[in-house]
Amino acid sequence: MTDTDGRHTMVTQLVAATLMVFAVFTAAALAVLAWRQRPRPGAVPFAAIMLAVTAWVGAYSAGFWSTGLETKLFWYRLEWLGVVSLPVAWIGFAAEYTGRDRYLTPKYVALLSVVPALTVLLAWTNPAHHLVLTSASVVTYGEFAVLERNWGPWFWVHIVYSYSLLVAGAALLFRLVVDSRTLYRGQATALLVAVGAPWVGNVAYVTDLTGLPGFDPTPSRSSSPG
């Protein structure tokens, strides 16, 4: 990497870090506002989405600014609490927003939470089995140190499961867009567009297409559904 490339990478990461700080406060504020409007359809799961975003982005930001490998891995494990909660909250929001809240029983929510709970457990016990990460290292770009990770097999289980919930929720909202002629049609369209930004960022990260090794752009975009 040339000096010019290094400076470009540092500037890009600094901008992204600033956006992440903004995203944390935005998501936390939206969670509070949504909770205050909890009688409205979708308000409670939307608050859960924003809480998940707050946890994810907050932990990622802390890890981004830390330097040592063990410290970064600690924050990385904390990230999972928000990461795995987000798809479950999203499908819950989509179901309630589109009038399918009859499926949001404790039984169904518990079933939807099995894979996320296992993912968190495996993330914290990863040194014993390496199912989530096969290896991790810190790579320095100027003043910034990023955590480069090699995914284990369970990570892909998590990806398939989480993306399935995201697609299912998007499908429910898309059907509302097609079928509805009310105000909800415009709102559902806006939600689909908003959720696309962090989703595209996550796909780019998972497939290593960001151009910034070890950098995940998803958190800096994740308050956009608000």
- Is 179 among the domain residues? yes
- Is 70 among the domain residues? yes
Full domain range(s) for residue 70? 3-221
- Is 95 among the domain residues? yes
Find how far residue 54's CA is from the centre of its chain.
9
What does the alpha-carbon distance between residue 55 and residue 47 come to, in Å, rounded to a whole number?
12
- Is 105 among the domain residues? yes
What does the alpha-carbon distance between residue 202 and residue 204 come to, in Å, rounded to a whole number?
5
- Is 67 among the domain residues? yes
- Is 226 among the domain residues? no
For the chain, 226 residues long, the average pLDDT of each consecutive 10-residue run is 54 69 85 89 89 90 88 95 94 89 87 97 97 91 78 95 92 79 65 68 67 60 50
Question: How many domains would you assign to the chain?
Answer: 1
Per the listing, tokens 């929510």 go with 109
For the whole model, what pTM was predicted? 0.81
- Is 117 among the domain residues? yes
Counting beta carbons within 10 angstroms of the beta carbon of residue 168, is it exposed (0 to 12), middle (13 to 18) or buried (19 or more)? Answer: middle
- Is 199 among the domain residues? yes
Q: Which residues contact 98 (CB under 8 A, 6 or more apart)?
A: 172, 173, 175, 176, 188
Q: Are 86 and 113 in contact (CB under 8 A)?
A: no
Taking each helix axis as running N to C, give the angle between helix 153-179 and helix 69-97, from 0 to 180 degrees, rounded to the nearest 10: 30
Per the listing, tokens 């892909």 go with 156
pLDDT for residue 81: 95
